[in-house]
Amino acid sequence: MPELLQHAKGHWRPMRSADLAGVVDIAAIVHPSYPEEVTVFAERLQLYPDGCLVFEGGGGLLAYVISHPWVALSPPSLNVRLGSLPAAPATYYIHDIALLPALRGSGAAARVVGRLFELADEQSLPTMSLVAVNGSRGFWHRHGFREFTDVALADKLRSYDDDAVFMVREM
């Protein structure tokens, strides 16, 4: 792992299958309105392990990120398995970043977003995309993401909540 993923409160490291129970626990705390089954997380880990990381510190997991190459302007639905990754992806999709309250404001999320930029660049993808929830729009703005409005996305975004917004970052 690059040095930038080290942090005073712990470190980001590759996710392992043994971490999935902890990931589900964090998700239940951070995203109680957006439940996903462990099989969804396990499949993402199996399909694209490079994009699945956990933050370990203080004797346990404090955060995770799930991300992967994907189809542009088509965020996967919540709690749905993908089956496979596209043969010709056009965006690097950040499915989820979740930090326990003790880690928020520490800079740990910004460090891992930098790693995700590197992964998108390594794949030569022209954009990164995500669905911002839980008031995270400002965080993503600071990292170069902008709202993208498309009526075709409206139904999928409503499956999150009224404040969910699809965001894109040009690489």
Mean pLDDT by 10 residues, the chain (171 residues): 58 97 97 93 98 94 98 92 97 97 93 96 97 93 95 81 90 94
Q: Which residue do the tokens 């993402």 mark? A: 44
Q: Provide the pairing of β-strand 10-14 with 52-57.
A: antiparallel
The residues near 146 (Cβ < 8 Å, ≥ 6 apart) are: 167, 168, 169
Q: How far apart are CA 132 and CA 139, in angstroms?
A: 9
Residue 40 vs residues 54, 59, 76, 102, 152: alpha-carbon distances, Å: 16, 25, 11, 25, 24
The pLDDT assigned to 71 comes to: 96
Q: What does each C-alpha distance from 7 to 1, 44, 71, 118 come to in angstroms?
A: 12, 25, 32, 18
3-state SS class at 100: coil
Q: How far is CA 1 from the centre of its chain?
A: 18
- What distance in Å separates the CA atoms of residue 115 and residue 108, rounded to the nearest whole number? 11
Per-residue pLDDT, 165: 93
76: enclosing H helix or E strand: none
CA–CA distance, 57 with 103 (Å, rounded to integer): 10
Question: Maximum distance among all alpha carbons in the chain?
Answer: 45
pLDDT of 4: 40
Q: What pLDDT is recorded for position 2?
A: 42
pLDDT value for 3: 39
- Angstrom distance (rounded) from CA 25 to CA 167: 26
The position carrying tokens 């996710």 is 15
Please check whether the domain covering 3-170 is classified as CATH 3.40.630.30.
Answer: yes
